[in-house]
């Protein structure tokens, strides 16, 4: 028997439905909001999206398990496309210890509304630990960090990773043409990182990288190159908040010139609600632009846009209920966890617990 869930009464249901491709320009202002919105979820996938009045009259909704979202904002699960959930030395750590540490970091991400992570490592043992977490209902996309490795070593490692299905992307320096060719042969996506080579943004566009991570500044020329490409600039506004002397990434100029941007934590604390709040306050962007950067554009950055990043029929039921009545309030709750519920693949993984006062 199919498992059916009926989420009803959302004051604002942010569907993010829209044109294909990473969202940019004026498309960043249309969140596809449905007032008094509802979703019907069947076996982990979204079967219907619309007003509560319409969905509740469907035969499939009559015996469904109900989730009441009255007075709340419902939006797609947040997607952290460049997370570093385990840092420091791995020496001496067993595969089980690595898996448990990674699992704890993943659970912390869920608490702040993140339902998918893109993670990079240069070490096979770490990528094996990430792969072991795929037994859990959570979106995980692994990247082999090959930047700076000799072509022969990178090639041998990539071959081993391919056999074990341990990675979907490779992150390279833009001068690693031999590694790039092998990655293309394997059908892997390619990422680059600012700082790996001079003119990293221009080189990322030249080789057709899916994304360039860690962008902290961009010239007028680089912004225009990104605007005329499918390469996504990944920014980490929350990471900049915690680094003394670090500048904030150039979200406003990139958006104004038509580039596609995504948000990521860039560190070992995946909290994109914090990134959204910081971006609205310090980067001069709107809450709608920030939400797009933390959801559908980040899904494109890890090539997962067909299944996550928006609330549309056929996609995975990955969503977050926030305890605010209007999405435009997000910048005013810096450091406050607004998450009431997290659903991934139709399963409720987290519910906000109520304070239990002692009986008097």
Residue 323 domain flag: yes
Give the per-residue pLDDT at 149: 85
Helix 272-282 to helix 287-294 angle (10° resolution) is 140
Task: Tell me which of 265, 281, 301 is where a domain ends.
Answer: 301
Greatest Cα pair distance, the chain, in angstroms, is 72
User: Do both 178 and 238 map to the same domain?
Assistant: yes
Give the per-residue pLDDT at 245: 56
User: Do both 318 and 216 map to the same domain?
Assistant: no
Bridge partners, 347 (sequence order): 344
> Could you give the CA distance from residue 122 to residue 50 in angstroms, rounded to a whole number?
44
Find tokens 């939400």 and name the residue: 291
Q: What is the CATH number of the domain that holds 203?
A: 3.20.20.140
Give the per-residue pLDDT at 175: 72
User: Do both 213 and 66 map to the same domain?
Assistant: no
* 220-258 burial: b if 16+ Cβ within 10 Å, else e: eebbebbbebebbbbbbbbbbbeeeeeebbbbebbbebe
User: Do both 227 and 148 map to the same domain?
Assistant: yes
Owning domain of residue 165? 78-301
User: Do both 111 and 251 map to the same domain?
Assistant: yes
Residue 250 domain flag: yes
Angle at 45 between CA 41 and CA 50, to 5 degrees: 50
- Write out the two tokens for 179: 């590694």
CA 141: distance to chain centroid?
10
Residue 359 domain flag: no
Count the neighbouring beta carbons within 10 Å of the beta carbon of residue 217: 12
User: Do both 103 and 129 map to the same domain?
Assistant: yes
Give the per-residue pLDDT at 171: 92
Count the neighbouring beta carbons within 10 Å of the beta carbon of residue 96: 10
Low-confidence ranges of the chain (pLDDT < 50): none
Bridge partners, 45 (sequence order): 42, 316
User: Do both 186 and 291 map to the same domain?
Assistant: yes
pTM, to two decimals: 0.94
355 contacts: CB under 8 Å, gap ≥ 6: none
6 contacts: CB under 8 Å, gap ≥ 6: 38, 39, 40, 41, 55, 56, 61, 64, 65, 66, 67
Residue 325 domain flag: yes
The model's pLDDT over 213-229, given as tens digits with 9 standing for 90+, comes to 989 889 999 999 999 99
Number of domains the chain contains: 2
User: Do both 277 and 205 map to the same domain?
Assistant: yes
User: Do both 82 and 71 map to the same domain?
Assistant: no
Residue 356 domain flag: no
User: Do both 64 and 156 map to the same domain?
Assistant: no
């Amino acid at each position: 028997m199919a498992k059916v869930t009926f989420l009803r009464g959302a004051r604002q249901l942010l569907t993010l439905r829209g044109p294909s491709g990473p969202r940019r320009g004026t498309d960043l202002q249309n969140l596809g909001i449905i007032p008094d919105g509802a979703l019907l979820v069947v076996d982990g996938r979204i079967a219907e999206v619309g007003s509560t009045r319409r969905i509740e009259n469907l035969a499939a909704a009559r015996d469904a398990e109900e989730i009441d979202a009255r007075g709340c904002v419902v939006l797609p699960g947040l997607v952290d496309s460049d997370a570093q959930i385990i840092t420091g030395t791995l020496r001496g750590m067993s595969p089980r210890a690595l898996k448990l540490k990674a699992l704890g970091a993943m659970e912390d991400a869920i608490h702040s509304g993140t339902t998918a992570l893109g993670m990079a490592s240069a070490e096979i043992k770490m990528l094996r630990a990430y792969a072991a977490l795929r037994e859990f209902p959570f979106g995980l996309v692994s990247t082999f960090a090959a930047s700076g490795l000799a072509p022969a070593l990178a090639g041998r490692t990539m071959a081993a990773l391919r056999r074990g299905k341990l990675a979907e992307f490779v992150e390279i320096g833009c001068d690693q043409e031999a590694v790039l060719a092998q990655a293309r042969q394997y059908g892997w996506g390619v990422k680059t990182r600012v700082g790996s080579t001079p003119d990293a943004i221009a080189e990322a566009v030249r080789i057709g990288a899916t994304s360039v991570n860690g962008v902290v500044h961009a010239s007028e020329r680089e912004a225009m190159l990104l605007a005329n490409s499918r390469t996504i600039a990944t920014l980490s506004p929350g990471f900049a908040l915690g680094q003394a002397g670090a500048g904030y990434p150039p979200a406003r100029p990139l958006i104004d010139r038509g580039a596609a941007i995504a948000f990521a934590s860039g560190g070992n604390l995946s909290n994109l609600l914090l990134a959204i709040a910081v971006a609205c306050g310090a980067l001069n962007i709107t809450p709608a632009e920030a939400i797009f950067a933390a959801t559908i554009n980040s899904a494109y950055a890890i090539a997962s846009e067909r299944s996550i990043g928006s609330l549309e029929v056929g996609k995975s039921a990955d969503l977050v209920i926030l305890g605010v009545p209007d999405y435009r309030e997000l910048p005013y709750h810096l450091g406050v966890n607004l998450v009431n519920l997290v659903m991934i693949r139709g399963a409720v993984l987290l519910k906000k617990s109520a304070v239990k006062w002692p009986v008097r």
